[in-house]
Chains A and B, each alone.
Chain A
Amino acid sequence: MKIGVLVKQVAGSESPLRIDSEAKWVDESAVDFSINESDSYALEEALQIIERSGGDGEVVVVSMGPAGRTPKVIREALAKGGHRAIHIQEEAPYETDPFMIASIFAEALKDEQFDLILSGLQSDDLSSGQTGVILGELLGMSTATLVMGVEVQDGNLRAKRELESGWFQWVTLPFPACITIQSGLNQPRYPSLKGIMGAKKKEIKPVSKADLVDDLKPLQDYSNMYLFKAEKSTEMIEGSADEVVDKLADIFKNKIKAL
């Protein structure tokens, strides 16, 4: 089976974030980047699907981002077991419209003839949650989202979709299929030392975003980025750990009546 996995490098959950001077994105010089959380589960699932089939097949890592920082996340995915990679090189200002992003991926991947494309259910930065589905549509693949388990059965893919409040549903999809992975369905591996060494020799094919977009125009656009205004005023409790817990206990007892 030939599997494509989309991985994205995003600002980590504890990274400092400062809005840039044009108020459209963050100043990247201060950002700590890491792999998008659900993408790391998608990568792990792709590697396991190949392993379950006796090692028959290929995992191709696909990422879009600037030439400077993106190779790090690609190398990490190759070190974990990806066979080769495609890097769609994009410099700031970055695409934020999910239709545009999916169209760029579709153009870059249309000749690969993947049996299966996996990605995380959403990126932790833009959080549109639709790139995977639109990509599947553009490539004529069947789609499913929020997948918590996959198995191949009678030449079809069975995917366990997460519904709300602890409910699930099995969906049967014909190949080729494009599915988005929910966090938590497996335990993402760490790269081995051998994997890290081996990754240096693996192919990373560069593709320029500019060659893929042509006359496409975004359907939606960021007009302004700003800091979220608090809905209510928060009373911050300060002091040493001992002082803080005394104040908390007092609040629990006298203000919230929880003791």
Chain B
Amino acid sequence: MDILVVLEGANGAIHRISKEALAAAQLLSKDLEQKISILAFGQNAEQLANEATGFNAEEVVLINDEKLNSYSADGYAEAIMQIVEKEAPQYVLTGYSYLIRDFLPKVSARLQKPLITDVISYKNEGGKILFTKQVLHGKLTVDIEPKVTDSVMVAFQSAAYSADNLISGSANIRNVEIELNADMLKTSSEEPFQEETGGVDLTSAEKIISIGRGIGKEENMPLVKELAEVLKAEIGASRPIVDAGWLPSSHQVGSSGQSVTPNLYLALGISGAIQHVVGMKGSKNIVAINRDADAPIFEIADYGVIGDIVEIIPKLTEVIKSQ
């Protein structure tokens, strides 16, 4: 087997992040003249497999095992491990989702094969494939070289590749059985639930003021609310603000919060960690104010100001109010 793409489901359909991994696989497949196998397993595996047959790939591998209907890290890891061990693909590509984070490192440990996570792109340097990721708070970038020749697992960051560029086709389904028994599964999981319902919906907002740890202390939060009022904007936040309890979690933008695409995204005191950026980089106009000139938020901003937000916010509120 050449390239194996592991699918993840979301409400019975293929998760967007898996389609993006498939888009990466299609590029890599062209580059290396390799064939793609797509793996569907877990809950709704058959539905996912049927959807996957519509893409340009060599085959869709289907594991239809009812013991995988409920999530367990050990069961999912075991399924992937058995396929990878038997078929020895050169690459195993997935999206870097919270689900993948939970079980794929187990496969790396059990097979002693590398898992390269949060990858933003791959590079072909004369046939040598390197995987690029951001490190050190997203401020620096590294190219990572796998040191083995098969079963290299790569998990791509959300939106690293665009699912819009997927090539359609018609692939056949191949059914595969795995050996799974109950004593392999150490953990058991309950039904997923949502903690906070209602809350603020940022996904349809035209203007968002998003606040990060640069605000310094909770006493400064009213400054943000005043600016949001005069600008008629919704308030978003990076994770540290929610963790500190200064705003409810429904305001959080990023991988564990909402993904937003407003006309104006005003990032105040947000450094631009990857987990935040994945939730807002699709905004039409990004304006960032941060006192750290090296903050990675400036890499994706259309307009940037290096300065102290506690000084700038009230002044900005006054100027806008006077207009």
Contact = CB atoms under 8 A, between A and B. Distances in A.
Contact of A16 (B199, B294, B305): B294
Contacts of B204: none
Contacts of B193: 167-169
B294 A171 contact: no
Contact of B189 (A169, A232, A234, A241): A169
Nearest to B197: A166
A118 interface: no
Nearest to B195: A168
Interface residues on B, range: 35 or more
B114 interface: yes
Given A167-B193, A223-B143, A232-B300, A162 B136 contact: no
Contacts of B115: 98-99, 130
Contacts of A138: 109
A168 B192 contact: yes
Contacts of A193: none
A165 B146 contact: no
A251 to B, nearest CB: 6
B138 A228 contact: yes
Contacts of A258: 206-207, 231, 263-264, 285
Contact of A237 (B139, B303, B308): B303
Given A17-B139, A164-B256, A184-B242, A223 B98 contact: no
Interface stretch (B26-34, B61-69, B165-173, B314-322): B314-322
A87 to B, nearest CB: 23
Contact of A166 (B135, B196, B207, B303): B196
Nearest to B288: A234
B53 interface: no
Interface residues of A, number: 80
Interface string A212-252: 00000111111111111011101111100110111011011
A64 to B, nearest CB: 17
A97 to B, nearest CB: 7
B225 interface: no
A190 to B, nearest CB: 14
B118 A127 contact: yes
A225 B319 CA distance: 43
> Which residue, B102, B105, B312, has most C-beta atoms of chain A within 10 A?
B105
Interface string A161-192: 11111111111111000000011100000000
A92 B97 CA distance: 32
B18 interface: no
B178 interface: no
A128 B131 CA distance: 13
Contact of A244 (B97, B264, B307): B307
Residue among A143, A219, A246 with max Cβ neighbours from chain B (10 Å) = A219
A252 B289 CA distance: 14
B299 interface: yes
B257 A165 contact: yes
A196 interface: no
A235 B133 CA distance: 25
A230 to B, nearest CB: 5
B217 interface: no
A11 interface: yes
B305 A223 contact: no
A130 B117 contact: yes
Contacts of A163: 98-99, 192
Interface of A: 11, 13-14, 16-17, 19, 26, 97-99, 102, 121, 124-130, 133-134, 137-138, 142-146, 161-174, 182-184, 217-228, 230-232, 234-238, 241-242, 244-246, 248-249, 251-253, 255-259
22 contacts: A13-B273, A14-B271, A129-B105, A133-B105, A134-B108, A144-B73, A162-B256, A166-B199, A166-B249, A172-B187, A220-B144, A220-B147, A223-B142, A228-B299, A230-B299, A234-B299, A237-B303, A241-B312, A244-B305, A244-B312, A252-B264, A258-B206
Given A26-B136, A173-B186, 16 more contacts: A13-B213, A121-B101, A127-B117, A128-B117, A142-B74, A163-B192, A166-B194, A169-B192, A219-B108, A219-B114, A222-B143, A226-B141, A230-B299, A234-B303, A244-B312, A252-B320
